Amino acid sequence: MDKKLEKILNEQITKEIASSYLYLGMAAYFDAENLSGCAKWMKVQAKEEMNHGMKIFEYMADKGLHVALGAIEKPENSFKSAKDAFEKTLVHEKKVTASIDNIYKTAKDVGDSSTEIFMHWFVIEQVEEEKNAIEVLAMLAKVKEDSASMILLDKELGRRGE
């Protein structure tokens, strides 16, 4: 495998695991705010991100490549509001999308068809990841400062993964 491609795949594993950690930090914030539905939403998201990292990990192992894990920074776990946390979720997912797109493009540029095809799933997955954050932000925009609506939204977000 092209060394640059191998390097950015390894970096993506770390990014996915760091994403999981980021969402656990957000879940801790929501738990502290007694928004258990939002916390569950973030915990489900954290599991998904860990699974994404493991998917790349296993792909590299299957190809006989060296997996080199990087350091993970402490995640933010204090936010101004639910809206703030979900805005940061969307910003983060857009960064992940750019990283995935770079891996896909690099695989294509170096003629690594198996990695290009493997990354196709991640390209499509990122559409869903961004859409999920956008949908929650749209709901939060309607809720505004109405606590009764926020309680209902929190309950709805807690249904994720059922």
Nearest Cα neighbor of 2 from 121, 117, 120, 108 is: 108
Q: What is the pLDDT of residues 2-14, one digit of tens each?
A: 999 999 999 999 9
pLDDT value of residue 74: 95
Tell me the whole-structure pTM to 2 decimals: 0.94
Which pLDDT belongs to residue 32? 97
Q: CB under 8 Å to 10, separation ≥6 — which residues? A: 60, 66, 67, 68, 69, 70
Instruction: Quick: pLDDT tens for 33-51.
Output: 999 999 999 999 999 999 9
pLDDT tens figures, 97-117: 999 999 999 999 999 999 999
pLDDT range class, residue 144, cuts 50, 70, 90: confident
For the purposes of burial, counting CB atoms within 10 Å of the CB of 19, is it exposed (0-12), middle (13-18) or buried (19 or more)? buried
The residue ranges of every structural domain in the chain are 3-157
Task: Give the Å distances, CA to CA, from 54 to 38, 78, 92, 135, 147.
Answer: 25, 27, 19, 27, 38
> Using CA atoms, how far apart are residues 60 and 1, in angstroms rounded to an integer?
10
Residue 57: which of 12, 3, 124, 26 has the closest Cα?
12
Task: Please give the single-letter amino acid code of residue 147.
Answer: S
The CATH class given to the 3-157 domain equals: mainly alpha
